[in-house]
Homo-oligomer: A and B are copies of this chain.
Amino acid sequence: MNNTIETILNHRSIRSFTDQLLTADEIDILVKSAQAASTSSYVQAYSIIGVSDPEKKRELSVLAGNQPYVENNGHFFVFCADLHRHQKLAEEKGVNISELLENTEMFMVGLIDAALAAQNMSIAAESMGLGICYIGGIRNELDKVTEVLQTPDHVLPLFGLAVGHPANLSGKKPRLPKQAVYHENTYNGNADDFRETMNAYDQTISDYYRERTNGKREETWSEQILNFMKQKPRTYLNDYVKEKGFNKN
């Protein structure tokens, strides 16, 4: 196993950072790494906003559901789907491509491009001994996030990435068994296989929590998922992304 794969397999989200800020050189190599990711048809349909202003970090931290590691970290990045550049190029040429830019396909392209770039940055950071945590919580109140970051139409903040020097190492949470995620040639929708896999995984997760909390937690993955699904959903997003020029047709 090479170093890179060791880094990848050793991933755990870090939610507690020292107050050491990233250097300009570190930020530079992280952004370069992000940019090196594949991009659909070379469109590079994303942007990254690096947030260092303490006031903005505090605001984002509150908006993301009072997560302190959004404020306290080495640097905070926000990844956005971005078709603003493409819109501007078209405008300059007097071409109207709004209908195309605003369709579901381009929404998907923006999300996928941004996520590929973010994961490159994450692996690069972890290879440098830094820790990372994705922050989906910025989708709680995107109207306010777009105000803080002053993003124009055709730019949609998707998630944050907190990066920094780890203060505490968290545990590595067990993933679904391979056979639940990896299918050969066709999707295996067999109900018995599903139940068997879920039983085994639920046991693994329950054991994992019990061990790490001296028996205080012992919920299964199934229980967690069903609880998660009962949370307040971000139902405003359907309208919101359309307002910003995405996913309209």
* Residues in chain A within 8 A of chain B (CB atoms): 1-5, 7-11, 13, 28-29, 31-38, 40-44, 46-53, 56, 80, 84-86, 88-90, 93, 95, 97, 99-101, 103-105, 108-109, 111-112, 115-116, 118-120, 122-124, 127-128, 132-134, 136, 139, 149-152, 155, 158-159, 173, 175-176, 178, 180-187, 189, 191, 194, 198, 221-222, 224-226, 228-230, 233-235, 237-238, 241, 247, 249
Contact = CB atoms under 8 A, between A and B. Distances in A.
A86 B29 contact: no
Nearest to A189: B152
A119 B128 contact: no
Contacts of A222: 89
Contacts of A11: 36-38
Copies of the protein in its oligomer: 2
A139 B2 contact: no
Which 9 interchain pairs have the tightest Cβ spacing? A115-B115, A4-B127, A119-B119, A150-B186, A105-B234, A35-B175, A104-B238, A4-B4, A104-B237
